[in-house]
Structure 1
Amino acid sequence: MERWLKGVLLILALTAMVLSNKFISLGQVHRLLNLGEIIFLVFAVLRLLGYTREKLGLGGEFHFIKHVLFPFVFFMLPLIVVVFVPHNPTPLWKFAPYFLNYLLIAGLVEELLFRGLLFASLEERFNGWSALVGNSVVFWLAHFAVGLNASQLIAALIHSSYRLAFRRIEPLIAVHALWDAAFIALEPRFSGSWGLIIVFPSGKPSL
């Protein structure tokens, strides 16, 4: 079996494993199970198929403008908008645990699975543009449990475009976690033109 196909099959298996957490509750044991799944997922992606870290978007050439400045300005700076709309006044010490939580369960897991392994597998078999579209659609469909909407697909396409252009996913891991944490912890309420400002760079729905 070719490596790219093994990658796709592994993605399906790991995604099913992650999604099962939304439908099965094991009480306090569930937290340990989640941590074990994350450890296994990272091991499986990094070790089982033989893709290099560079192929997965976790290494290679580093450029400050591409990999730090651009993600900050394009992805993170728009979060300032949250200050100007109604939101929960959450102090930093309460926000930090939200960020760390989503850094693991959303940023690391989802970006490593989709923009990392799935992107590399599809690019190996087809080409970069097919990987961009293909992994975005699969990422979008994998969110059926929380309800599908166009903003999720927009977010996936934007993240995948960054992956294709700049070849790294570390900034996407941090960005993904920050946006999820901000929307869950702060619950900003957008209306009118604010919604248009926030949807484009983040792919988050206006509330």
Structure 2
Amino acid sequence: MKKAVVLLSGGLDSTTCLALAKERGFDVTALSFNYGQRHVGELARAQQIAARAGVVDHRMIWVDLRAFGGSALTDEIDVPKHPGVREIGAGVPVTYVPGRNTIFLSFAVALAEVLSSSDIFIGVNAVDYSGYPDCRPEFIQAFQEAARLGTVLGVTTGELTIHAPLTGMSKAEIIRQGLALGVDYGLTTSCYDPTPDDRACGACDACLLRLKGFHDAGVTDPIEYECGS
């Protein structure tokens, strides 16, 4: 089996991405990050998801992005809340974490090179998302080229691929794909500002986009929300 590194946050998208990598026959090493995020409870979900998927090698890395701040997820900035998806503003929201996917992918490339793996999976999405610049296909393609030029694996084989299979899918399409692959979305979390007992708030951008995705997919979201959504 070919090896692949899969970035796993514990969220809906990365869990679907993990299932896709497994379905394509890859021997997966999962990679998760404690980066000082306010929703650090997602890491416990990531551990459960990896175990349920039969992932033997799950790496957890600490990289404190609170040293930079500048995001509602890593700084003393309120997470925006809205009554519905239509109220989510245009532009890049304050929940964007500067450099996050660049940093995560750099770690993934380093790990892949050590594992002699030429395949990395990341669950970025450019359709139903919050406008983050590092979720766009242009960024993934450019980073892939940089990784090929900057690693021994890439220079000697030219075979370093960053898979972003969810890029062009709506949230509803992602959910349907995951359900077809047997994903248990009850294990996942998407909330940026969960309650102390780890319930999703139901009003942040991530919750609203998730709820819309389940509604559009015609299925019930299995997780519990503070607002009773």
TM-score normalized with structure 1 length: 0.29
Higher share of residues assigned helix:
1
Larger relative contact order (CA 8 Å, sep ≥ 6): 1
TM-score normalized with structure 2 length: 0.27
